[in-house]
A and B are shown apart, each in its own frame.
Chain A
Amino acid sequence: MSDVPLIPEHATQFPQVKRMNALLEWVATVDHKQIGMMYLFGTFFFLLVGGVEALLMRIQLAQPNEHFLSPQDYNQLFTMHGITMIFLVVMPMLLGLANYVVPLQIGARDMAYPRLNALSVWMFYFGGMILYASFLAGGAPDAGWFAYVPLSTPPYTTNVGMDYYGIGLLVSGIGTVATALNLVATIFLYRAPGMTMRRLPLFTWMVLFNSFIILFAMPALNASLVLLLLDRMLGAHFFDVLAGASPLLWQHYFWAFGHPEVYIMVLPAWGIISEVVPVYSRKPIFGYGAVAGSTIAIAFLSFAVWGHHMFTSGMGTLSDLLFSGASLMIAVPTGIKIFNWIATAWKGKIHFTTSMLFALAFIVQFTVGGVTGVQFGIVPFDRLTTDTYYVVAHFHYVLFGGTLFGLFAGFYYWFPKAFGRMLSERLGKWNFWLMFVGFNTAFFVQHALGWMGMTRRIWTYPDYPNWGLYNMISTVGSFILAAGVLLFAYNVWHSARHGELAGENPWDAWTLEWATTSPPPHYNFDQVPPVRSRRPLWDLNHPDMADKD
């Protein structure tokens, strides 16, 4: 063995805190890679915060009639857990990854509007800080992330938490809209020569349609928040029942944003899976057209299904049935994706990297969350199971077993690009199995709990047969899951310094981000390779098997 490394040591890309002015370089940056990192580190921090909130709840629920937390504390915790995970973790984490990856994937130098991009990330940070400042101001929001009126308005709220909810989400929401706009402009205007829309990498494709959903859905939330704040702070009467308003108005406003939001939180994760599964199966994506096209169908349908959150509110039978039909329809394009991913792995040469393990677990867990999702689209069934732990199990299978597992697949896949070093696969395997076992232990039993009549959002419960046992199992699982997440943090910290050098393209992948050094230089590319198909680097490295397009 020669002592000379095969891969040259790379220059450090990110400003190191040790250096003079490094902090200023972070604060003043308009580089999409640095901004992407700021998103990812900020959201990972909030993942830990939201995780601690969840663990506190799980301790409280570990046994019946527990008094570890007061109901007031518990209600603030579950509200903040939901808000944190949705608005400060899953959504901005996906945007952060998109920020880092999309310009590289399309061979661009940066985002279309770098300064707007910097504004967005700071709006995210400020929004998060405003939300958490509520703890210091006398109490966090405690009316649920959905903030149903009249519970979220005086006289039923007793602290100022919901004002912080309104302002905090408004601030971060404006940042989200700006990022979506930025991504759309970047993808439309800054693609490398030869990269037609039909040759777009699927992650970029999904981010594009995700951004469209954001552009149409977030303003609905932002406007509703303004109305809620007017009601709360200036005594307006938009949602005042005594003044003749219907509490269902808020529910319609909120879910008209809230259900597209569910797709906002999953589309880019589908994109990650559509990149990762082909690369580690050594095969192109099976049915690019179907995977891409079904995304468009979902983007449209996502705006026609919000009513399935309101089947027990008494909207009327016709509304019930229309929303039910639309909700079931969305399962068809979703199913197409699942089958196409499996077909991609089929007849492949599957390499079980940590990234691939997360992706395969995603497919199965997301399907479990998907079939229970179909059940909630059916009106009479929804009226049995909604607002129970069956729902809690369902959406954690979608958002944790789905999106977060997808994100972890993405982290293991793209980390070498961003840091020039590989994440440890040995730690990675531990990371995966702890999370896989912990997640399923924590959440699978919750299906049964829901069926046994346990409702959501209760700070404690009576000692009914088996409730204590199942909740204890769930609590144990949640701690195993937490250990897995912490191990990931250690892996990042350790591998960023001591990991194996990665080189340009450690996975033999084929999209453009792998055509530049790891980490990429500030300007991203010395030279962008020619794009003649969906897999430019594949064509370059394997001319004998080049795609015909």
Chain B
Amino acid sequence: MAYLSIGTLLSLLGSGVSVPAADSNIIPIEGYTEFLLWASVAVAALVGVLVIWAIWRYRARAGDQEYAPQIHGNTPLEIGWTVAPAVLLAVLFGLATYFQLTSSRSAGAGLPKGRPPDIIVIAHQFWWEFRYPKLGIVTANEFHIPVKQDIVVQVESDDVIHDLWMPALGEKMDAVPGQTNYEVLYAPKPGSYNGACAEYCGAEHAWMRPYAVAQTPAEFRRWVRHEKTLPAKPTSQLAKAGEKYFMSNTCIDCHTIAGTKANGRVAPDLTHFGSRKFIGAGVMTNRTQNLKAFLKDPQAVKPGILMPDFHLSDQQVNELTAYLEGLK
């Protein structure tokens, strides 16, 4: 039923809302949300119809200089259109409050159900750090969750205010420095879900896109095992040269690669970089040509990113690309 309504309406407009596609980034319409939208459409439509009716019915014909009956008001009628909206609003308030207080997926300042968080998200300018305290794994920008489970996410910030939002998976919550907030993500079915930073955070607010993969419990366990293993050591000459360059330069002060001396936390963890779908928090897909362009001049690809242009030679770019792509 839920999708037979505003969803249909929006899909008529061409948005395709009714069928959440792969890489969904659309807010689902269900429960009180649907009621609220219909009530709103009804009120706006009522006003629209009344205005259009009045325009049509009471228009002055050309040359008509007569006066209308001088009516100054009608108290019962006015009480009516005071009380009726008040009742509607009270119902809306009651419904939403009931939902907010009883739903296990309500976001807020307090830890839901007193559960320890499944994921701690730390927002940075302009990327996301995902830490799984119970599983002991760390990843950046891309994270995985099991389907059909409430995932409690603790949201923090390392610099300015950000906001973690996965439109198809739940409510959004600000990442406020010096404060912890919580939100709950729920993936109804396996698939990939796009997200965004929803609080303006500076130059590259646009390219701070988290990406979630929802998996069956078995697949999720396999992913966790994979994340816990160290990435393969480079074998090719090119990749080895890339590793040497990475480890002997300032890269290691900002990035972490597990099992190496690179342990910076200012920039995204690159431990399994090769298995991620995107570069630069969504700015490009993770392909060889894109990665080379990124390394050649990050500021050209993602202007305002905190990674400076290191003026690498083409040879150095090729080496680093080979090394990073092998980190799976």
Q: Which residues of A are in contact with B by a Cβ distance under 8 Å?
A: 70-72, 75, 143-144, 148, 150-151, 156, 241, 244-248, 281-284, 286-290, 312-317, 320-321, 324-325, 328-329, 331-332, 335-336, 338-340, 342-343, 345-352, 360, 363-364, 367-368, 371-372, 374-375, 378-381, 383-388, 445, 448, 451-453, 455-462, 464-466, 469-470, 542, 545, 547
Is B326 in the interface zone, CB < 8 Å from A?
A: no
Within the assembled complex, what's the spacing in Å between the Cα atoms of A200 and B24?
55
| 6 pairs from A and B in contact (CB 8 Å cutoff) | A72-B203, A287-B73, A312-B174, A320-B108, A380-B100, A383-B173
Check B304–A72 contact: CB distance below 8 A: yes
Known interface pairs A151-B160, A458-B206; A72-B201 also in contact (CB < 8 Å):
no
Check A349–B82 contact: CB distance below 8 A: no
Q: Which of B17, B64, B92, B168 contacts A378 (CB 8 A)?
A: B92
Q: Which 6 A-B pairs have the closest CB atoms?
A: A453-B25, A458-B206, A383-B171, A314-B109, A453-B167, A287-B73
Chain B 153-179, CB-CB to A under 8 Å as 1, else 0, gives: 000000111010101100111101111
**Closest-CB distance, A343 to chain B (whole angstroms):** 7
Within the assembled complex, what's the spacing in Å between the Cα atoms of A244 and B165?
27
Check A350–B59 contact: CB distance below 8 A: yes
- Given A247-B179, A378-B36, 4 extra CB contacts under 8 A: A151-B160, A247-B176, A281-B68, A351-B60
Is B249 in the interface zone, CB < 8 Å from A?
A: no
Within the assembled complex, what's the spacing in Å between the Cα atoms of A451 and B3?
14
Check A315–B198 contact: CB distance below 8 A: no
Check B67–A455 contact: CB distance below 8 A: no
**Closest-CB distance, A251 to chain B (whole angstroms):** 9
Stretch of B8-16, B116-124, B128-136, B312-320 at the chain-chain interface:
B8-16
Within the assembled complex, what's the spacing in Å between the Cα atoms of A351 and B171?
48
Q: Which of B27, B59, B178 contacts A241 (CB 8 A)?
A: B178
Check B86–A448 contact: CB distance below 8 A: no
Check B27–A451 contact: CB distance below 8 A: yes
Check A313–B174 contact: CB distance below 8 A: yes
Check B177–A241 contact: CB distance below 8 A: yes
Q: Which of B27, B44, B81, B199 contacts A384 (CB 8 A)?
A: B27
CB-CB nearest in chain B for A384: B27
Check B101–A317 contact: CB distance below 8 A: yes
Known interface pairs A70-B303, A332-B82; A350-B110 also in contact (CB < 8 Å):
no
List the A side residues contacting B160 at CB < 8 Å. Answer: 148, 150-151, 156
List the B side residues contacting A286 at CB < 8 Å. Answer: 71-74
Check A455–B197 contact: CB distance below 8 A: yes
Check A289–B177 contact: CB distance below 8 A: no
List the B side residues contacting A458 at CB < 8 Å. Answer: 196, 205-206
Is B85 in the interface zone, CB < 8 Å from A?
A: yes
CB-CB nearest in chain A for B278: A462
List the A side residues contacting B40 at CB < 8 Å. Answer: 371-372, 374-375
Within the assembled complex, what's the spacing in Å between the Cα atoms of A80 and B97?
37
Number of chain B residues close to chain A: CB under 8 A: 92
Within the assembled complex, what's the spacing in Å between the Cα atoms of A315 and B16?
35
Q: Which of B41, B51, B73, B110 contacts A342 (CB 8 A)?
A: B51
List the B side residues contacting A378 at CB < 8 Å. Answer: 36, 92-93, 96
Check B60–A350 contact: CB distance below 8 A: yes
Within the assembled complex, what's the spacing in Å between the Cα atoms of A283 and B100?
46
Within the assembled complex, what's the spacing in Å between the Cα atoms of A286 and B70?
9
Within the assembled complex, what's the spacing in Å between the Cα atoms of A422 and B255?
69
Q: Which of A151, A290, A466 contacts B14 (CB 8 A)?
A: A466
List the A side residues contacting B179 at CB < 8 Å. Answer: 246-248, 314
Check A465–B10 contact: CB distance below 8 A: no
CB-CB nearest in chain A for B164: A312
Is B1 in the interface zone, CB < 8 Å from A?
A: no
CB-CB nearest in chain B for A450: B27
Known interface pairs A332-B86, A385-B27; A464-B47 also in contact (CB < 8 Å):
no
Check B25–A464 contact: CB distance below 8 A: yes
List the A side residues contacting B48 at CB < 8 Å. Answer: 364, 367
Check A290–B73 contact: CB distance below 8 A: yes
List the A side residues contacting B70 at CB < 8 Å. Answer: 283-284, 545, 547
Check B16–A342 contact: CB distance below 8 A: no
Within the assembled complex, what's the spacing in Å between the Cα atoms of A542 and B70?
12
Known interface pairs A71-B303, A156-B159, A460-B206; A453-B194 also in contact (CB < 8 Å):
yes
Known interface pairs A387-B199, A448-B10, A466-B14; A367-B43 also in contact (CB < 8 Å):
yes
Is B4 in the interface zone, CB < 8 Å from A?
A: no
List the A side residues contacting B69 at CB < 8 Å. Answer: 283, 347
Is B296 in the interface zone, CB < 8 Å from A?
A: no
Within the assembled complex, what's the spacing in Å between the Cα atoms of A515 and B86?
41
Q: Which of A150, A290, A339, A459 contacts B177 (CB 8 A)?
A: A150
Within the assembled complex, what's the spacing in Å between the Cα atoms of A339 and B86?
14
Within the assembled complex, what's the spacing in Å between the Cα atoms of A290 and B201?
44
Check B77–A343 contact: CB distance below 8 A: yes
Chain B 170-191, CB-CB to A under 8 Å as 1, else 0, gives: 0111101111110000000000
Q: Which of A75, A289, A317, A385 contacts B110 (CB 8 A)?
A: A317
Q: Which of B21, B168, B176, B180 contacts A465 (CB 8 A)?
A: B21
List the B side residues contacting A345 at CB < 8 Å. Answer: 51, 54-55, 58
Interface positions of B from 1 to 39, Cβ below 8 Å from A:
10, 13-17, 21, 23, 25-27, 32-33, 36-37
Within the assembled complex, what's the spacing in Å between the Cα atoms of A316 and B179?
12
Within the assembled complex, what's the spacing in Å between the Cα atoms of A28 and B172?
54
Known interface pairs A156-B202, A339-B81, A349-B67; A364-B47 also in contact (CB < 8 Å):
yes
List the A side residues contacting B37 at CB < 8 Å. Answer: 375
Known interface pairs A349-B66, A350-B54, A462-B282; A288-B73 also in contact (CB < 8 Å):
yes
Is B137 in the interface zone, CB < 8 Å from A?
A: no
Is B227 in the interface zone, CB < 8 Å from A?
A: no
Within the assembled complex, what's the spacing in Å between the Cα atoms of A247 and B178?
8
List the A side residues contacting B150 at CB < 8 Å. Answer: none
Is B272 in the interface zone, CB < 8 Å from A?
A: no
Within the assembled complex, what's the spacing in Å between the Cα atoms of A455 and B197?
8
Check B100–A317 contact: CB distance below 8 A: yes
Q: Which of A70, A281, A336, A351 contacts B82 (CB 8 A)?
A: A336
Q: Which of B44, B68, B73, B199 contacts A349 (CB 8 A)?
A: B68
Within the assembled complex, what's the spacing in Å between the Cα atoms of A402 and B204?
32
Check B27–A383 contact: CB distance below 8 A: no
**Closest-CB distance, B137 to chain A (whole angstroms):** 26
List the B side residues contacting A283 at CB < 8 Å. Answer: 68-71
Q: Which of B33, B47, B107, B206 contacts A381 (CB 8 A)?
A: B33
**Closest-CB distance, A254 to chain B (whole angstroms):** 13
**Closest-CB distance, B76 to chain A (whole angstroms):** 11
List the B side residues contacting A348 at CB < 8 Å. Answer: 54, 58, 68
Check B202–A151 contact: CB distance below 8 A: yes
Chain B 200-238, CB-CB to A under 8 Å as 1, else 0, gives: 111111100100000000000000000000000000000
Check B89–A331 contact: CB distance below 8 A: yes
Check B67–A542 contact: CB distance below 8 A: yes
Q: Which of B68, B96, B173, B304 contacts A71 (CB 8 A)?
A: B304
List the B side residues contacting A455 at CB < 8 Å. Answer: 165, 196-198
Check A459–B206 contact: CB distance below 8 A: yes
CB-CB nearest in chain B for A388: B198
Q: Which of A72, A347, A374 contacts B68 (CB 8 A)?
A: A347
Within the assembled complex, what's the spacing in Å between the Cα atoms of A241 and B160?
10
CB-CB nearest in chain A for B77: A343
Check B51–A360 contact: CB distance below 8 A: yes
**Closest-CB distance, A322 to chain B (whole angstroms):** 11
Is B263 in the interface zone, CB < 8 Å from A?
A: no
Is B293 in the interface zone, CB < 8 Å from A?
A: no
List the A side residues contacting B55 at CB < 8 Å. Answer: 345, 350, 352, 360
Check A342–B161 contact: CB distance below 8 A: no
CB-CB nearest in chain B for A371: B40
CB-CB nearest in chain A for B203: A71
List the B side residues contacting A342 at CB < 8 Å. Answer: 47, 50-51, 54
Within the assembled complex, what's the spacing in Å between the Cα atoms of A463 and B202?
22
